[in-house]
A and B are shown apart, each in its own frame.
Chain A
Amino acid sequence: MKIGFRVWILIIAIILSVLAIKPSFESGIVVKSVEANSEIFNSGLKTGEIIKSVNNVEIETKEEYANQIDKLLSDGIEKRIDITTDKGSYTLFTNKVPEITIENIPKTKIATGLDLRGGSRALVEADEKLSNEQLQDLIEVSRNRFNVYGLSDVQIKGITDLEGNKFMLVEVAGASPQDLQTLIGQQGKFEAKIANQTVFVGGKDINDVCRNDASCAAVTNCFDDAEGSFCNFAFTIFLTADAARKHADVTDKIEIDTSGQYLTERLFLYVDDEEVDSLLISSNLKGQLTSEISIQGSGQGATRDDALKDARANMNRLQTILITGSLPYKLNIVKLDSISPTLGGNFVYLILLAGAASIIVVSFIIFIRYRKIKASLALLMTSFSELLIILGFAALIKWNLDLPSIAGILATIGTGVDQQIVILDEATKEKTLSIKQRIKKALFVIVTAYLTSLFALLPLWWAAAGLFKGFAFTTILGITIGVLITRPAFAEIIGRIEN
């Protein structure tokens, strides 16, 4: 059978889509991020490398990696760890879990959205109207906070909705909602006050903050009592010259207490106007130009381990806002979702099952109605190729397929089948007209239906802070592919079958 140019376009589109989806049969785990300045970072391992083995034990899944690392480090003694990747070998000596995040090698380039992959999502609004520049600033500061905090798989977007409200949408794969709340829900205004005078603030008054260095940032001690376990932490910060002078000026006016060891006023630490801790000031600091200040805090939990984890997390949060400074306005988290990855796989399976079952039922109906095996098969093949091209395009532009996007794809395939039925029916009747004329009539119906759907979907792009953009996107993409590629090709195939 001769193949016309419309079918050629379809074939080329299918090939390009398969290339874009790029199914992979490779096993192994890929490095998603490496924490800056960690030991493994200094060894040279980079994001994107594929880990093949750890200490000569082959690694194929995330679980195998975690087991192997656990096994090596279970006794807490410093060990030599050899990591072999597709790019090279890296050796480190450590008793800590390497500071990297890993993923199984994805089977395809199709990216799934947060509601399938799991993670946390927050929609954040400022308590005043933001300009576009302010929104950009907010996004920058937030991104910086995530980086400093050590989360890398973060997507931050500015959104303007139908009413002109501006939001920041943050999606994080590996963070808890608590992390999100403190990292972006907080204005992050850090103030240190003595006798009600601000001595220094987070960000601009601070030259450096000690992190990842046990000599100046660590959990200092832990203890248990009836209510659970508690751990204290301390880390050093370095003030700018101006802030150090301010510190000297303020402390100079304060009396030394009766013991002679400390000043009568304490150093109070506030985050967003809430007191987080107060520290005694040693008497020898009085009036001194000190640039080094020790910041302390604590964590708690039901067990010693929990308390230790909590203290470390609190320390990291405090360090983060001290480094990144504060925002000039308050933020409200107006929507906060935490989605478990547990159901994701199940979900994909059910959606595929629903899709396959629908297609089988539809083909059954089509076959009963037309009793033409060739035409019915052509219809099914066209629907499948439409699906493939939508997925290919989504993979190409790295669109995250979330639930609304998938609902959109299902809707498109549904209307696609409908329109193919129009072509099939037009082609098989009214034999007084030439097949070309008949198909032209079918295409009129299809283009009109396309235009109505296209315009009906446009408002959804901006509505509800763009949460349903995915639906609008896949549907518009799908019907456009339909009208430009698959419908013409199907018409050509049917035309040939009928001739």
Chain B
Amino acid sequence: MAAAESSIDALGQFKLEHALGAVGASVNFTNSNVMMLIAGGLILALLYYGMRPKAIIPGRLQALAEIAYDGIYSMCHEQIGEEGKAYFPFIFTLFFFVMMGNLLGLLPFSFTYTSHIAVTFGLALIVIVVATVVALKIHGWHFFTYFFPEGAPKALAPIIIPVEVISYLSRPISLSIRLCANMVAGHVMFEVFASFIVMMAASSMLGHFGIVAAIGPMALNVMLMGFELLVAFLQAYVFAILTCIYLHDAVHLH
């Protein structure tokens, strides 16, 4: 870590720490798991307390719950077609788990569990396994014609089939790295600009001017927070819609 330790420790914020003292240390219950439980609890609370009034004209919380449900349902239905209804709970869980992970990480002193490749690769692996199993169940052995699009000249098969297989297997990799790298990059930028604030304000060379000039990186951090809010929602949406597209490929077009 020779390059990092001279000035800014950008990656130390992603370190896992045990959460519940001795009990937590024995079962490896970390701050990442705490945030996952909080995220799950928040989503369940949104749906339960949001739908309790059961009013025809929804109040604000009920409208939020209904928009969340209807948004994901129409996305599933539109992308996958009629059979999309069966995969709706899966897509809903994925979308809100990822979005809550991204959003909760923006609070001070919290942890972004989606910034770890272990978490995002696990989710991407689940998506690919589900899509492949669904395709095999619906189409049987006919599934393997997916890798050789009809209408392509048979002589090119030795080239096309490996390329298609590799691009299919690269789906979980791109899905997981997209989410993880977005979160890591955002949080590293936060840390770097925040370190600039401290370094500029404390610098003996700049003196009092340094304290005034430190407002620059702080304004940048404020704007970056706005951008990261957008990225949090956008990455969850992209994860969910790519899952829908893969499920569409699995259900049709095989």
Tell me whether A and B are bound partners: no
Which residues of B approach A to under 8 Å, CB–CB?
Answer: none
Which residues of A approach B to under 8 Å, CB–CB?
Answer: none
